[in-house]
Amino acid sequence: IAIPLGIAAGRYQDQWQDQAVQIFTYFTLAVPGFVFYILGLWLFGFVLGWFPISGSVSANAAGVWGVIGSRFYHMILPAILYSLITTTSIVQYLRTGIVDNKVEDYVRTARSKGVPEDVVFHKHILRNSLLPIAASLGTTITRLLSGSMIIESVFSYPGMGKLFLDSISQRDYTTLTALILIFGILTLLGNLLSDIIMSIIDPRIRIK
């Protein structure tokens, strides 16, 4: 969600695409996460009844595929709400990078040589603008894998975030220690994956 929005905002600076994305980012930045989750739960769960409001699987789910489908169905609403509220920083980073790189000397040089605008944008502007996002991707991946404490509590979803909060309230120090160890391992894996992605985007940082 964030990367297409950031590209649209940066490439069409000060146009209606950029203004629409800016309104979206201002809204998601201003609204607290728990308020956004509760509003989404109330609207799509209680009022419209499109999605379940709690749990991770229905009690009447039968068979392997039934359980898998029920788990996916329960995951749709919290996943969409969580992704929408966490796109703000990535959109702003990408938009700012594109706007700044559009006026760099190497971009003007490429345009003066007659390079097509799409090639200039994708190979020069966009590639360099993705570096800050790739650098922060480790934290994003870790947060994604370890779960969100707030949204899992709102939806009563039995994930790692809710388990972490429950272990704190119940003084279950064994589970708490194990979760902290898992979060640490996930952080290391996320940072490793972030470095790999950065080396793909920017070959200059590869280890020879």
The predicted-structure confidence for 80-130, as pLDDT tens digits, reads as follows 888 888 788 888 888 888 888 887 777 788 778 787 877 777 777 877 787
Residue 18 has pLDDT above 70, yes or no: yes
CA distance 142 to 145: 5
Whether the Cβ atoms of residue 183 and residue 146 lie closer than 8 Å to each other: yes
Residue 164 has pLDDT above 80, yes or no: yes
Alpha helices in 31-148 (DSSP H): 33-40, 63-85, 88-101, 105-112, 117-120, 126-129, 131-135, 137-146
Residue 207 has pLDDT above 60, yes or no: no
Residue for token pair 């996002």: 133
Contacts of 154 (CB under 8 A, 6+ apart): 34, 37, 38, 41, 78
* Distances, alpha carbon 157 to alpha carbons 66, 71, 180, in Å: 18, 10, 19
